[in-house]
Amino acid sequence: MSVIYVPKGKAREYSPLACNLYLSCMHKCKYCYAPDSMSGIVKDYFAKPSPRRDILAKLEAQLRTERIIDSVMLSFIGDVYSDTADNGAATRGALELFLKYGVPVTILTKGGSRCLRDLDLFQRFGERITVGSTLTFIDPQKSAEWESGAATPADRLSALCTLKEHGVRTCASFEPVIEPEESLALIDASLQLDCIDFYKIGKLNNYEGLDARIDWSDFLTRALEMLRGRGKRVYIKQALREAAPNVALMAEEIRN
């Protein structure tokens, strides 16, 4: 069975390929879709994750027989830099295998500085890796309310700065946008720190009707005003484009 797979639907906007090393996560995000989608597979999605059985052996078996040139996302189920039962050994082992077989990697995490334990491996990838963070709130109390097990906003930004200082390409996903003012403040803070190379901007999707109360055209217009002209790559996700159809976008802003 292949452990590297082609994601479907909205997940394809993140990466052409993906690999899930763990099947649970301790970040406890209120808006997370995984507890419902994984209910038939794991008893408690927010329990401390253990690696999938024989995941590294299965991964190497696939890498040995397939030539993979597209970037592999770690990961869509769980967070490889959540607090894990193996203290991240499966993540490090997978990165070593991707290095061995020359496979490009994308990482998106809310684990903040936890990811820095693998900084030495990130640097060995060169341009074949992008490490990013999901950024939602700048207010630490709001972040703790919505993502109680994740790293603080300050820690996530600090980790991105450290990565960039050490030559690692960085990205950030501003999705979900729960309170536009919080996301805009985060964009401003990140621009002042100059710690993000590639911005992906989305919206909040179908969570308790909150998305219907947000003026997405206003949010997108203001976000673009901040980002344009700063030499950053920006991608506006399809759901946000559809929610703000009157906002004119450049060709490169809809090219992932």
Q: CA-to-CA distance for 25 and 48, rounded, in angstroms?
A: 6
Q: What is the pTM of this model?
A: 0.94
Three-class SS state of 111: coil
Phi, psi at 46, each rounded to 5° = -95, 15
User: Which of the 8 DSSP states describes residue 130?
Assistant: E
Q: Domains of the chain, with CATH numbers?
A: 4-254 (3.20.20.70)
From 103, 150, 107, 167, select the one nearest 131 (Cα to Cα).
107
Q: Which residue has the tokens 């052996």?
A: 57
Per-residue pLDDT of the chain (256 residues; tens, 9 = 90+): 589 999 887 777 888 999 999 999 999 999 998 888 787 788 889 989 999 999 999 999 999 999 999 999 998 898 999 999 999 999 999 999 999 999 999 999 999 999 999 999 999 999 999 999 999 999 999 999 999 999 999 999 999 999 999 999 999 999 999 999 999 999 999 999 999 999 999 999 888 889 999 999 999 999 999 999 898 899 999 999 999 999 999 999 998 7
Q: For residues 39 and 203, give the distance between their C-alpha atoms in angstroms, rounded to a whole number.
A: 25
Residue type (1 letter), 75: S
**How far is the C-alpha of 149 from the C-alpha of 78, rounded, in Å?**
12
